[in-house]
Structure 1
Amino acid sequence: MSIKMILLPLFIQVALTFVILFWMARSRIGALKAGQVKMGDVALGQTAWPTHAQQVSNNYHSQLQLPVLFYVLTLLAIATRQADLLFVVMAWLFVVSRLAHAYVHTTTNYMRHRFNAFAAGVFILLAMWVIFAVRILLATA
C-alpha cells in the first residue's frame, strides 16, 4: 500500500479539523460583531455563545478527542508496516463517520444520528486498534 493511500484519510481528517476551526472562528467573530455576545461574557467560559456558534465549537473540540487515537494508530501502522488494504479501508470508514458526525453536530444536531455516527467511528477505531495490536503481539520477531 502506498504511503499516499495510507495518509489520505488522515489528511482529510486534519482538513476537517481545520475547516471546523475556521468555521468556529467565523461564527464567534460574527456573534461578537452582531452584539449577540460580549467579550466579557465568554472570557472565562463558553456557555454565552449563541447556539450555533456553540455547536460548531463543540464539534471542533470533538475533532481533538477521538481522532487523536486515529492519528497515533496511523503513524504506528506506517512505522511497523501494518498499514495494508484493510487498514486503509477502515481508516476511510472512520473518517466518513467523523464527517457524518461533524455534519449532524453542526446542522440539525439530532442526537440519535449524531450518536450513531460517533458510535460507528468509535467501533471502527476500536477494531483498527485491536487488529493492529493482535498483529503486533502475534508477530514472530
Structure 2
Amino acid sequence: MQNNLIFLPVLVNIAIVFVLYIRLAKTKAKAIQQGQVDQARRALHDDAWPDNVRQINNCIRNQFELPVLFYVLTFILWAMEFTNLYVQLIAWAFVFSRIAHAVIHTGSNYVPHRKKVFTFGCILLILLTSFIAASILFQAF
C-alpha cells in the first residue's frame, strides 16, 4: 500500500473544517441581516451571537482538539512507513467519526450521541498510538 495514502483522510478532515467555516460565515451573515447580533459586543463576546452561530463556532473549536492528535499520529505513521491497510482503515474510521460528530454538533447537538461518537474516535486514536508505541518498542529489541 502506498505510504502517502495516509494523507487522504487527513485532507478530508481538513475539508470538514472548511465546510464548517463556510457554514459559520453564512449563519453569521444571516444572523446579522436579521438583527440577532449585539453589534457592540460581537468582536469580543460569543454571547453577542445567537445560539446557532455559537453551536457551529463550538464545533469548529472541537476540530482543533482531538483531530490535532490525529494529524500528529498520521505524520508519525507516515514517517515510520507504517501505513498498512489496518492503519488506513482506522484513519478513515476516525474521519467518519469526526463527520458524524460535526453533523450531530451542528444539528441536534444531543450530547449523549456526540459523546458516543467522540469516544469512538478517541478509542481509534488510542489504537493508532498503541500501534506506534508497539512498533517502536519491538524495533528497540
The TM-score by the shorter chain falls in which range?
A: over 0.9
Give unmatched runs, 5+ long, in structure 1. none
Partner of 1:18, secondary structure, is helix
Q: Partners in 1 of 2:135 and 2:3 — Cα distance?
A: 20
Q: Partners in 2 of 1:57 and 1:124 — Cα distance?
A: 25
Counterpart in the other structure of 2:132: 132
TM superposition shift of 1:35: 0.8
TM-score of the aligned structures, taking structure 2 as reference length: 0.93
Counterpart in the other structure of 2:52: 52
Q: Partners in 2 of 1:104 and 1:130 — Cα distance?
A: 28
Give unmatched runs, 5+ long, in structure 2. none
8 Å Cα contact 2:39/2:48 also seen in 1: no
Q: Partners in 2 of 1:52 and 1:4 — Cα distance?
A: 38
Structure 1 consecutive aligned stretches of length 4 or more whose deviation exceeds 6 Å: none
- 2:15 is the counterpart of 1:15: yes
Counterpart in the other structure of 1:33: 33
Counterpart in the other structure of 2:84: 84
Taking every aligned residue pair, what percent have the same amino acid on both sides? 37
TM superposition shift of 1:103: 0.4
- Residue type matched to 1:104 in 2? I
Superposed CA deviations along residues 52-109 of structure 1, whole A, max 9, x for unmatched, are 1111110011011110111111111111111111110100110111011000000000
- Residue type matched to 2:15 in 1? A
TM superposition shift of 1:33: 2.0
Partner of 1:39, secondary structure, is coil
> Number of residue pairs matched?
141
Partner of 1:47, secondary structure, is helix
